[in-house]
Chain A
């Protein structure tokens, strides 16, 4: 995954960038299977590697295929990014170890979900139960976001293409 992320930085052909980002998503999906998140891996493989790659290719076919190669490397973003990275690594030193069953995240509501979901709903997949029942409000919000995004794209991309006008061009 790190390798493909690095490739995305180095490549200037946007088609290649989009394809590598698809590979990146697929690697992320396999990684999620390894750490037990099968539902998430499924979604990432379908959405990240599938639909988003197709959408980006669709957008590229409407725009340009190559990025303008910058004349000089951008120093300031590198410094900011590295500083953020160092600060974040310093922050992780107090975090619980990977896979630690006593970590705070496993002490809060998760044991209740794992113990109660099967007897209360008769559904063995805890992720589905939490998604639809315990956190139903959240999911309602997410569905509304997707609904809104669909309408946004409809509004933005409907209508015929207009030539550039001198006035009222506020994009």
Chain B
């Protein structure tokens, strides 16, 4: 197997696993959202590296250039990035509201508060 081989997928997978861990492990909601962003970026890397053609150039048609990289993943990821920031914003807004009603952004503390509330009622 010559050099680049499958390394691009493995980089994406390393980032993906880190993102997955960051979504699952921390109790802190803001850190979970950062983890979600890491995960998202890993998917972007996966798509974009799949679209690369050896010897190709950016898909802007110009004279004297024959080989272009695949424009389709670029389009998909371009929109995905902007939608990603939109979902991040909604998630952060929810975190802010949770902090206002519970006074904490740690998941286990929120759960304890909710259970205490259910017991009281």
Contacts and interface: CB of A to CB of B under 8 A. Distances in A.
A and B touch in the complex (CB under 8 A): yes
Contacts of B92: 55-56, 58-59
Given A2-B11, A18-B34, A68-B106, A126 B79 contact: no
Q: Is the interface of B mostly helix, strand, loop or mixed?
A: helix
A128 to B, nearest CB: 9
B21 to A, nearest CB: 4
A48 B17 CA distance: 20
A116 to B, nearest CB: 11
Given A35-B48, A117-B61, A130 B75 contact: yes
A118 B61 contact: yes
Nearest to A63: B99
B83 A171 contact: no
Given A28-B45, A113-B72, A127-B75, A74 B24 contact: yes
Contacts of B41: 1, 24-25, 28, 44, 48
Interface string A121-156: 000111100110001001100100110111011001
Contacts of B117: 166, 169
B79 A139 contact: yes
Contact of A55 (B35, B85, B98): B85
Chain B interface extent, by class: 35 or more
Given A28-B44, A35-B69, A93-B6, A131 B33 contact: no
A36 to B, nearest CB: 4
Nearest to A147: B86
B48 to A, nearest CB: 5
A63 B96 contact: yes
B72 A110 contact: yes
A37 B50 contact: no
Contact of A36 (B17, B57, B89): B57
Contact of B71 (A43, A110, A148, A171): A110
B88 A127 contact: no
A47 B7 contact: no
A111 B35 CA distance: 36
B97 interface: yes
Contact of A78 (B7, B25, B50, B90): B25
- A-B pairs with the 3 shortest C-beta distances? A149-B86, A99-B54, A77-B24
Given A1-B45, A48-B81, A171-B98, 12 more contacts: A28-B44, A60-B30, A82-B17, A85-B13, A92-B10, A95-B9, A98-B4, A105-B51, A109-B72, A110-B71, A126-B71, A157-B96
7 contacts: A44-B41, A55-B92, A110-B71, A145-B83, A156-B94, A171-B101, A171-B102
